């Protein structure tokens, strides 16, 4: 069977800027594939190429077996897309937009009416269906955007940062809908996100993208296992930062951490925690806070890029270790 998404050496340049730098991607039928990376990593540019909105500068990509450049019209018939920032006309009502979308896809009126009602109900917008979209909240617009992407029963669904800016309740509701689509209908989903939890919760496989390149790819658990040791994060008195780093590096490699904090991959895990505390105490380091976390996708990202994804954490400050 043809892979729903297959990209080889995909490149996109904007002048001198290389936004996507040779991406290879293979998404299997019925898979939810997460594309994880910070802002500007190249996620949306990749999606725009895969959905025919942008021409690749080099490389090839096929969606549902169709070439995104030479068979763009065929690609558009079989994909559903919810772009970043819910692109919806605020002057129209939700029902009118669904109807318009159905006409553009050539769906007969009777079927489009039934399907429109069903989708509105599924995304919880039946009551607001005849209100202008301009009066919708951010979460309602996202849900309508998803319904619009589904009206023609696409084979492949692209969701570009679908929950950015949503409150936790709306985010969970959208996750549920993605799970349902994938579970009940087997829809293949490519989801871009900058949220680690979202990728962890929804995706069967993920690709971590940074600087236009895929730096890690695989199942989330396997990627986390590959990181190995858990991360020990330590918050100490600022005056003791250098001394604390000297002590900590004896217990594992220094990992990227937020400014003013330290993190290491604690070799031996939780069993060595007491030993660390004693060593810090012996060195006269005043501890403000300490936490030990099992490897996360953030650790995977940090290990691959040298930076933290979550909370805009910065690379670790260079630490002078006396010798």
Q: Applying CB under 8 A, which residues contact other proteins? A: 51-55, 73, 76-79, 81, 83, 85-92, 96, 100-101, 103-108, 132, 148, 150, 152-155, 181, 184-187
The DSSP string of 29-83 is: TT-EEEEE--TTSSHHHHHHHHTTSS--SEEEEEETTEETTTTHHHHHHHEEEE-
Query: 98 by DSSP, 3-state: which?
Result: helix
Q: Which two tokens stand for residue 263?
A: 């993190």
- Cβ neighbours of 91 (radius 10 Å): 10
Q: Which two tokens stand for residue 247?
A: 């002590």
Report the sign of the C-alpha dihedral through residues 120, 186, 88, 65, in that order.
Answer: negative
- 131 neighbors 161 (Cβ within 8 angstroms): no
| All residues at 6 or more sequence positions from 85 whose CB lies less than 8 Å from its CB, including other chains | none
DSSP category for residue 192: E
């Amino acid at each position: 069977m043809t892979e729903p998404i297959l990209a080889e050496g995909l490149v996109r340049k904007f002048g001198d800027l290389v936004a996507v730098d040779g991406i290879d991607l293979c998404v299997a039928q019925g898979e939810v594939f997460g594309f994880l990376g910070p802002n500007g990593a190249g996620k949306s540019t990749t999606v725009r190429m895969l959905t025919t909105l942008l021409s690749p500068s080099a490389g090839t990509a096929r969606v549902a077996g169709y070439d995104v450049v030479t068979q763009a019209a065929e690609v558009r018939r079989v994909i559903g897309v919810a772009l970043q920032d819910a692109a919806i006309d605020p002057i129209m009502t939700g029902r009118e937009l669904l109807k318009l979308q159905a006409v553009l896809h050539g769906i007969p009126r009777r079927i489009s009416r039934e399907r429109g009602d069903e989708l509105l109900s599924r995304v919880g917008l039946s009551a607001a269906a005849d209100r202008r979209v301009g009066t919708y909240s951010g979460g309602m617009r996202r849900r309508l955007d998803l319904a619009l992407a589904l009206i023609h029963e696409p084979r492949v669904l692209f969701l570009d940062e679908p929950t950015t800016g949503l409150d936790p309740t709306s985010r969970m509701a959208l996750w549920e809908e993605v799970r349902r689509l994938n579970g009940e209908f087997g829809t293949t989903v490519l989801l871009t996100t900058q949220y680690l939890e979202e990728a962890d919760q929804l995706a069967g496989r993920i690709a971590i993208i940074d600087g236009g390149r895929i730096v890690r790819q695989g199942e989330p658990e396997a990627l986390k296992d590959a990181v190995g040791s858990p991360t020990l994060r330590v918050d100490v008195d600022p005056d003791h930062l250098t001394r604390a780093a000297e002590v900590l590096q004896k217990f594992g490699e220094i990992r990227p951490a937020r400014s003013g904090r330290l993190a290491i991959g604690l070799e031996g895990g939780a069993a060595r925690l007491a030993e660390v505390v004693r060593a810090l105490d012996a060195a006269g380091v005043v501890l403000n806070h300490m936490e030990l976390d099992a490897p996360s996708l953030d650790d995977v990202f940090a290990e691959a890029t040298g930076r933290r994804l979550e909370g805009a954490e910065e690379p670790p400050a260079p630490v002078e270790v006396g010798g």
